[in-house]
Amino acid sequence: MPRATVARLPVYLQCLDGLPTDRQTVSSEELAAASNVTAAQVRKDLSHLGSNGVRGVGYDTQRLRRLIQRELGLTGDVPVAIVGVGNLGTALANYQGFGERGFRIVALFDSHPAKVGASVRDHTIRHLDQLDPKAGIAIGIIATPGEAAQQVADRLAGAGVRSILNFAPAVVRVPPGVEVRNVDLSTELQILSFYLAHPAKAG
């Protein structure tokens, strides 16, 4: 399955959830309009899930939703830990959208002594030393300053966490088999800044 397709499946899921509940089928054309991609793209993507559409009709919305969820491994709750309970970490811990989409925060970590022991949303902040490989954490979120990111990634990987979402402004290296996705505010703003400085030619 192409990585580019994987990155779009959540978008399709989002669009399906935005559909009127009485809607029973969608065409690739409609999904494409809602997702900002081409209809051919939608069909190619969905074909990787098997042949699920009905020619002349479209895709069954319920069936498609379940198929995408299954493909993404969204069966039951996925346990998530947040490391770094500062501005951003706190906001993430308070974010409602986790539960609605199949993720559950199970632990908060910080290394600052003044924070360890405090509570956010029913979770007591613990020191990263307390990270337990047996806790079954599936995804670790790094919300620390950049300087600490690599060290935290090492700890997470060492504890068997195989997926990391890195919000820190730093490149982190991980062993093979660990997947990292980077979300850096400054990077995004700088990319946007480029396109401000270099507007697309009118066509």
Partner DNA sequence: ACATGTGAAGCGCTTCACAGCG
Partner DNA sequence: CGCTGTGAAGCGCTTCACATGT
Q: How far is the CB of 63 from a second copy (least distance, A)?
A: 19
CB closer to DNA, 16 vs 82:
16
* Residue 181 binds to DNA (criterion: CB under 7 A): no
Q: Which stretch binds a second copy (CB under 8 A): 11-19, 58-66, 128-136, 152-160?
A: 11-19
Residue 27 in contact with DNA, rule: CB under 7 A = yes
- Report how far residue 138's alpha carbon sits from residue 67's, in angstroms, rounded to the nearest whole number: 21
Which residues, 6 or more positions from 89, have their beta carbon under 8 angstroms from its beta carbon?
A: 82, 83, 108, 110, 141, 143, 144
Q: Which does 53 bind (CB under 5 to 8 A by kind): DNA, a second copy, none?
A: DNA
CB of 180 to DNA, least distance (A): 16
CA distances from 182 to 146, 165, 203 (A): 12, 6, 33
Q: Does 76 bind a second copy (CB under 8 A)?
A: no
33 or 159, CB closer to DNA? Answer: 33
Binding residues with a second copy: total (CB under 8 A): 63
Site string for a second copy, 27-66 (x = CB under 8 A): -------xxx------------------------------
Question: According to the binding rule CB under 7 A, does residue 57 interact with DNA?
Answer: yes
CB within 8 A of 12, min separation 6: which ones?
31, 35, 42, 45, 46, 64, 68
Q: Which stretch binds a second copy (CB under 8 A): 6-14, 22-30, 112-120, 126-134?
A: 6-14
For a second copy, give the closer residue by CB, 114 or 200: 200
Give 38 or 94: the residue with its C-beta nearer to DNA: 38
d(CA 138, CA 134): 11
| Contact partners, residue 120, CB within 8 Å, separation at least 6 | 85, 90, 93, 94, 108
CA distance 35 to 81: 30
3 binds DNA (CB under 7 A): yes
By CB under 7 A, how many residues form the interface with DNA? Answer: 26
Residue 106 contacts residue 77 (beta carbons within 8 Å) = no
